[in-house]
Amino acid sequence: MKIKLLISILILLTILGGVFYYYYPRNYNTEFDELITENGEYEPDNAIDIIKLLLDVQKGRQQVRDEFLLKLSKNQNAIGYYSNVILANSYNIKNKDAEEFYETALELYPTNDVRFNFALFLEKNNKREKAIDEYLKILPQERALQKLIDLKVDDEIICKALVETNSWETIIKFTEPEIENNFVMKKYYAQALFQQQQYTKAIPILETLYEHNQKDSDVGWWYGRALELTEQIEKAKEIYSSIGTKGAYRLGILLENEGNTSAALEAFSSSDEAISLWKAARMQEEAGMKETALETYIKITEFESSYQDDAAYRGYILSKRLNKNTDDLINILSQHPSWMKRIQQDYSWDDVVDIKYEKPEFLEMVELYEENGLEEVSEIELSIGSKFASVEEKLALGDWYLEKGDIYWSVVWGLRSLNDKPNKQGYKLAYPRPFEEYVKKAADKYNIDPHLIWAIIREESYYRADIISWAGAIGLMQIMPATGQDIASRLSMTIEDSDLTNPEINIEFGTFYIRAMLDMFSEDTDKALAAYNGGPGNVSRWSNSVLGTTKEDFPTAITFFETQEYITKVKNSYHIYKWLYENE
C-alpha cells in the first residue's frame, strides 16, 4: 500500500514538474553573463544570441535579471529597444517607475502598442495630462479614442488631433451626436463632410455656422468652396467677398472666369497668398502695368513659397528692362542651376565636398538579422540606425539601397545627405544613371542628350518603373496609355498598356515623344518640356499670349503652375547631370 502511495506521489510530482517547466519561465542569467561585459558591451557575433534571448524574455519563455537589461538598454539599436521594452513592462508590473524605459523605447522605435501601454502606465500613476498626450498620438485608433472619452478629455482637443491625421470619417462619427447644440463640434463635423466631398450635406450646416459667426474665415472658405463646387456661383462670390484675404483668390478666379478682369485683378491683389499675387502680377503685366507688376513680383519673393523663384526670375527680367537693381533677385535665383543658366550666369558648385565613409555597423547587423530569419528585428535595427544616421551613414545607406537594386531609396538617402552637407557622393546617389543601356540607345536613336532623358525620368517617376500616377500615367517617363498606343502604332509595334512598365519600352516611347515635341517647337527645350507635361496645344496658346512671345518671357506665360515647376525641376536635374557626368 505504501509503495503504491509512493509511486502515486512520484507520478504526481513528475506531472507537476512538467507543468511548472512548461508554464513557468526558465532563468538564463548565466547565458547573458557570458554574452555581455560589465559595461553592457558585446561582440557583434553575440548579437544574434542576445536578440533571441531577449525575444524569449519578451514572450515570457524565460527570465533575466534587470541588471543585465539595464546594461543593454543604453544601446541605440534593436538590442537597446527590446531591452527598454522589457524593462518598461517589468517595472510596470512591479509598480516601479517605468517612464524612462517607455520614453527611450519610443524614441528608438515608436509603435502604437508600446505607446498605448505607456499611456496606460501614466494613467495608472495619476499622470493624466501626459497619458492624454500619448493617447492623442495614437488616434484614430478606437482604443485610444475610447480612453480619451473615458478620461473626459475636451471634445475639441480630440477633434484637433483627429484633424492632424486627416481622420475625417472618425470625426464624422465622433461629432455627429453632438452637433445639434454644440457649434464647436458642428464646425468639425462640417469640415469633415467638406473634406469627404459631401458638399450637398455640408452646405446647410456651413450656412448655419457662417450665420452664427461671419468672422470665422475657415467656415466662410469651406462654405464658399462648397457652394462653388455645387455651381452656386453668385452665392459663393458673396461669401468669398465677406471673408477678406482668405477668400480673395477664389473670388478672383470666379470673376476672371466671368471675364471681369478689373474686378479679378483687384481681388487677386488684395490677397496675401503667393498663388493669388502671382495671378495679379501676370495680369498687371498683360495690362502694361510693368512697374506695379514688378512690385508684386518682389512682394512674392519676400516670403518662402513655391512661387518664390519664378517671381524672382520675372522680377529680374522686368528690373533689367526698367534699369533697376537686380542683386536681391539674383541671390534667390543663385540657388537654382536652371534659373542661373536661363539668365546666362554661372551656377556655383564651390561648396561641394568629398566625404570619406564606410559601411556602418548597424547595416551589417541589419543583414545579419535578416540572414538569421529575424526580419522584424532587422527592420527595427534599420529604422533606428537610419533615424540617427550621420551624413556619412546616410551616404552608406544610399549605397546599400543601390546595391539592393532599390534606386528610389538610394536617391532619398542621397538627398538627405545633401541636406546635411553638399557633397559629390550625395549628388551621384541623388542623380544616378540607371537603365543606362536603354537610355543611351534611345538617346542615339532620337538624337537627344541622355542627361535630359535621365532628368525627365527622375522628375517623372524617381526611377520607379512600375509606378502609375493618379491620372493613369505609367512607368519611368509616365506615359499615358493612349499616348503609348499612338507611339506604338507610329513605331509599328503592338503593345498592352502593362508593357509601359517595361523600362526599355517606356524609355524609348518617352524619348520618342520628347523628340516629337522638340521638332514641333524648333528645338526649344522649355517649350518641349512644357508640352511633355502640359500638352502641345497649351504650349501653342501660351506662346501666342501677351507674355509668351519670346524665349525669355515664355516661362511666365505658362498658366499651369505644375508645368512651370516641371520645367524648372527637369532643367535643374539636367544641369546637375551635366556637371556630374559630362567630363567622365
From the list 357, 391, 363, the residue with the least C-alpha distance to 378 is 363
The Cα–Cα gap between 348 and 84 comes to 48
Which residue among the candidates 134, 393, 460, 508 is catalytic per the annotation?
460
From the list 550, 525, 564, the residue with the least C-alpha distance to 312 is 564
CA angle 513, 518, 521 (to 5 degrees): 125
Q: Are 485 and 467 in contact (CB under 8 A)?
A: no
Element (H, E) at 50: helix 47-58
The strand pairing partners of 474, in sequence order, are 468, 479
The Cα–Cα gap between 552 and 547 comes to 10
Q: Are 570 and 422 in contact (CB under 8 A)?
A: no
Q: Residue 468 — φ and ψ, nearest 5°? A: -130, 125
Q: Residue 353 — φ and ψ, nearest 5°? A: -115, 165
3-state secondary structure 280-301: HHHHHHHCCCHHHHHHHHHHHH
The Cα–Cα gap between 550 and 547 comes to 8
CB count within 10 Å of CB 535 equals 14
Q: Are 329 and 319 in contact (CB under 8 A)?
A: yes
CA angle 124, 71, 122 (to 5 degrees): 10
Q: Looking at 421-502, list the stretches that DSSP marks H as alpha helix, in order from N- to C-terminal side.
A: 424-430, 436-446, 450-461, 481-490
User: Which contacts qualify for 169-173: CB closer than 8 Å, 24 or more apart?
Assistant: 169/196, 170/139, 170/140, 170/145, 172/196
Q: Are 454 and 433 in contact (CB under 8 A)?
A: yes
From the list 345, 276, 341, the residue with the least C-alpha distance to 551 is 341
The reply to whether 460 belongs to the active site is yes
Task: Return left, alpha or beta for 492; rule: phi > 0 is left, psi -120 to 50 is alpha, else beta.
Answer: left
The Cα–Cα gap between 308 and 53 comes to 56
Cell triple for 99:
517612464
Task: Return left, alpha or beta for 96; rule: phi > 0 is left, psi -120 to 50 is alpha, else beta.
Answer: beta
Q: Which residues are catalytic?
A: 460
